[in-house]
A and B are shown apart, each in its own frame.
Chain A
Amino acid sequence: MQTTTKTSRKYLATPIFATAMGVVYLVALSIAGDPVYGVFAFVVMVAFSGALLLARRRSETVKGLLDRRDERISSIDLRATAFSALAIIAVLMVAFVVQIARGQSGWPYSMIGFVGGVSYVAAVIYLRIRG
């Protein structure tokens, strides 16, 4: 059974992840010699995290997406994620075909497609075994 403490912290996972990615962008862009753009990227990610936390207070949907306590919103999240993945796959396939039609290798689209395909099969096998 979930404790109140665990539940109250769960909604922070996405904002913390977004902020952490902001730090990663800042470091990566600083290494690349563009710290100003790095700071901009960091500020955008922090603002996104803050917007999520503010929206959580006003929107049941955002609240449900963040704390994952509502099974219907979690189901919506899952289907929306699958739809988004289909859109990415479509773009990936088009980009790959355009590249090979130009006489190029198809990299990196081929590798991204390979990772996507393998991870899908692995997930199906894992979930099939797990029942």
Chain B
Amino acid sequence: MSLTTGASPVRNDVRERRVAKGLSQADLAQRLDVSRQTVNSIETDRYTPSLPLAIAIARFFGTCVEEIFHADHN
């Protein structure tokens, strides 16, 4: 049994969009009602958010999920 989920197969632009808005990880975490650790894990592709959270992130940045999250099809 593996305790870790490994690297996420989905890349994302959350960090770029957050920085562009001038927000800290803590600010974004507060807006999304998650921990700062979770925002950091998403930004570094160590955690793939659930669909509801991905939608919440997309809505926060005023775009759609596919514009932020990019699946690797290698």
Contact = CB atoms under 8 A, between A and B. Distances in A.
Contacts of A71: 34, 38, 49-50, 53
Main secondary structure of the interface of A (DSSP, over half): helix
Interface in B33-54: 33-38, 41, 47, 49-50, 53
B1 A70 contact: no
B20 interface: no
A72 B35 contact: yes
13 contacts: A60-B35, A60-B37, A61-B35, A61-B37, A64-B35, A70-B35, A71-B34, A72-B34, A73-B38, A75-B5, A80-B3, A82-B1, A83-B1
Closest CB pairs A-B (n = 3): A60-B35, A72-B38, A70-B35
Contact of A73 (B1, B5, B35): B35
Most buried by B among A63, A64, A72: A72
Contacts, number: 34
A69 B1 CA distance: 26
Q: Size class of B's contact patch?
A: 10 to 19
A86 interface: yes
Interface in B1-47: 1, 3, 5, 33-38, 41, 47
B34 A70 contact: yes
B41 A72 contact: yes
Interface in A44-81: 60-61, 63-64, 69-73, 75, 79-80
A75 B50 CA distance: 11
Nearest to A83: B3
B25 to A, nearest CB: 11
Most buried by B among A61, A70, A73: A70
